[in-house]
Structure formats: C-alpha cells, structure tokens
Structure 1
Amino acid sequence: MTTTQPGIRHHRSEGPIDGKLLRTVCGLFVTGVTVITSGTGEQASGTTVNSFTSVSLDPSLVLFCLHKDSRMRQVVEETGAYAVNFLTGRQEQVAWAFAGRHTATLASVDHHLSATGVPVLSRAMAYLSCRLVNAFAGGDHTIFVGEVVELGVPCPDQDPLIFFRGSMGSLEEEQRGTHPIFDG
C-alpha cells in the first residue's frame, strides 16, 4: 500500500525513497540538539546538528554527520578534532545562532578550549572533546568518527534541548512550528 503525506501509513517504492518523505518519517525520532565546534584561532566555528550518536565504549567513540557541502567539514578535517556540545532546553537561541551557512561567531557565546584545543560552549549541558579518528562518505553527508579524550557536565540539572517533528524545544515545552535544522 502506498500513501502520501501527511497520513503516511506505508510506502513501498521500486526506486529510491523520496528524501522529503524520509525526512518526515525520521522526524518522528526524538533527538537531542548539539553544536559541533572545531577549529582554532579565527578558523574556530560551530554548527548545529542532531545527527549525533555514541558508537563504542571501548574505545570511546562517537559520531556525527555533516552535509558534504557544509562549511564545517573542512574545518573538522583540517583540525583533526571537534567537540560535541549538548544543549540545554534554554539554549534554543544558541542552536538557531549556529544553524545555517552564516552563523554566530564563537565570540558571541561563552566558551573555553578543550584538551584537543577546540572550543567548548561553557554553558552547554555537557560536552565531549574528540580526536578525529576517521571520516567516511555517506551519500550526501560525511560521517565523522571521533575518540572521546575529554568530557564534562557543566550544567547537570538542566533539561536537554530536543528536536522532534521538525521543531526544537525543551522536554517540558510543547513543540512549536516546524523549523528545520541545517547542518552548516
């Protein structure tokens, strides 16, 4: 049986699945919202992503994905390190500031340097500082795998910022309209 949006029940296709349909279905999976920071000096920057996951505890590996045309892809590759900053429910403005091609500068948010030399958002709920282990092509994205070399939980009593059905909000907040996250 094939149906179309918004009442998607089942969809079978002889060819590739439509990207918009896939985004709609994947939007039903609740994720956290992170800002990936990387680079040093004037090259230091950040971008908002929700494509983050842990991979392995031994060794401690995590991954995230960036669009192949992302302005941050080259920064992460050249720096060889990145930080994953888990945002609190009160940091939606920070998430929007780092979303898209033209984003906020790190000078506009409190930050400090991690063990890998990349910036960490000082008011994030938690962070992981990672050494880049590998990067893989994954369709129209690059998959970055990093080994965690430092971590911290500066704001442990905060609720996370979440992404669900195309919008961001805190766990206790009712989700608002749809605003896609752009991965820089």
Structure 2
Amino acid sequence: MDRDAYRRVVGRFATGIAVVTTIVDDTDHAMTVNSFASVSLDPLLALFCAEKVARFHDAVLAAGVWGVSVLADTAEDVSRFYAHRGRPLKGQLDGRPHHRGGLGVALFDDALATLECRTTAVHDGGDHSIVVGEVVAVDTPAEGSPLLYHEGRYRRLG
C-alpha cells in the first residue's frame, strides 16, 4: 500500500483540532491532536492518539490524566505552536489564558469545549498509542466555530 495515497485518502476526512495537556512532576506537557474522538456514553469515554516518539506520549502515560481543549477557528497559531516538535517545556503555557481542572491539567480559557479524562486503557496503534480515558469533567468555556483540518490544511466552517 502506498503511504502517500493513504494520507491523501484519510486527509479527505475533516477533523477538529484540540490541544491535549497533562502534568508530570509540576511540568506541563501539551500537544496538538486531530485524533480525538468520543468513544462511549456508558461509561463516558474519549480517546486520542499519541505518536510513540513524541515526548508527550511518555508524559501522558506516566501521568494517567489529561485534558482536552477544543480549539476555535481563531486559534490556528495555538495549534501550530503545540504541534511544533522540540519546543521548550518550561513556560509553554505562558501567555495562553488557562486554568487548572480538578485533575490538575491545564485547560484553555478560550476553548470551545474542554474535557478532563483519567486514562483507562492504552492500545497499540502502530507508530501511535490509542489512549482511552474516562471523562470526569466537561465544560464549554467559549462560543465560536471550530478550527478544522482537511486535506493537509487548516480550514474553517462557512
């Protein structure tokens, strides 16, 4: 199977964009994802996929808790920042309005939606891990339209 052909095909599926956060030893970790999904209503479960070579991968597995901030269409710069590999961990949330959820994870104040999750399972997904979590808190802090990703580019509704 041709990987480039596969990427073109799955790129036709539009996805929302979120930043997943966790905290380990008082250090915040964050990563842009477009592989976030609701899994179940009973029990309440959600998932995201983390690339195994990303430093976020080991951090979120060690922490066992994570937050999701669904980005508005005005937050492309935020998405690009947290997608950038090798950025310094210290101060990466500086200048980004956020608060701590009940699990201690950072949640963005201007997110369209936030969720807090406790990891319940991790499945092998090739070069990624599929991290499944019990949803323990949700909120809708801001209004707006979502930032989307389609055919390798950022998109907006309408």
How would you bin the TM-score normalised by the shorter chain? Answer: over 0.9
- Which structure would you say has the larger Rg? 1
Q: Distance in 2 between matches of 1:56 and 1:148?
A: 10
8 Å Cα contact 2:50-2:128 kept in structure 1: yes
Q: Which runs of 5+ in 2 are unaligned?
A: none
Structure 1 partner of 2:112? 125
Cα displacement (A) at 1:103: 3.6
Q: Distance in 2 between matches of 1:56 and 1:82?
A: 17
Determine which of 132, 152, 158 is the counterpart of 2:144: 158
Matched, 1:92 2:79: no
Cα displacement (A) at 1:40: 4.3
* Length-normalised TM-score, structure 1: 0.80
- May I ask how many residue pairs the two structures share in their alignment? 155
Percent of aligned pairs with the same amino acid: 38
Q: Distance in 2 between matches of 1:103 and 1:84?
A: 20
Matched, 1:39 2:23: yes
> 1 or 2, which has the higher strand percentage?
2
Structure 2 partner of 1:64? 48
Cα displacement (A) at 1:36: 0.6
Cα displacement (A) at 1:122: 1.2
Structure 2 partner of 1:28? 12
Cα displacement (A) at 1:41: 5.6
What SS class does the counterpart of residue 98 from structure 1 fall into? helix
1:115 corresponds to which letter in structure 2? G
Cα displacement (A) at 1:142: 0.4
1:160 corresponds to which letter in structure 2? P
Q: Distance in 2 between matches of 1:48 and 1:108?
A: 17
Q: Report the CA distance shift for 1:63/1:131 in structure 2 as closer, same or farther (over 3 A).
A: same
What SS class does the counterpart of residue 75 from structure 1 fall into? helix
Q: Distance in 2 between matches of 1:41 and 1:160?
A: 32
Q: Which runs of 5+ in 1 are unaligned?
A: 1-16, 173-184
Q: Distance in 2 between matches of 1:130 and 1:76?
A: 11
Greater than 3 Å deviation, 4+ residue runs: none
Deviations 1:2-33 (A, max 9, x none): xxxxxxxxxxxxxxx22221111100001000
Cα displacement (A) at 1:84: 1.2
Q: Distance in 2 between matches of 1:46 and 1:20?
A: 28
* Length-normalised TM-score, structure 2: 0.93
Deviations 1:124-160 (A, max 9, x none): 11111000111111111100000100100001x3000
Cα displacement (A) at 1:42: 4.4
Cα RMSD (Å) of the superposition? 1.3
Structure 2 partner of 1:6? none
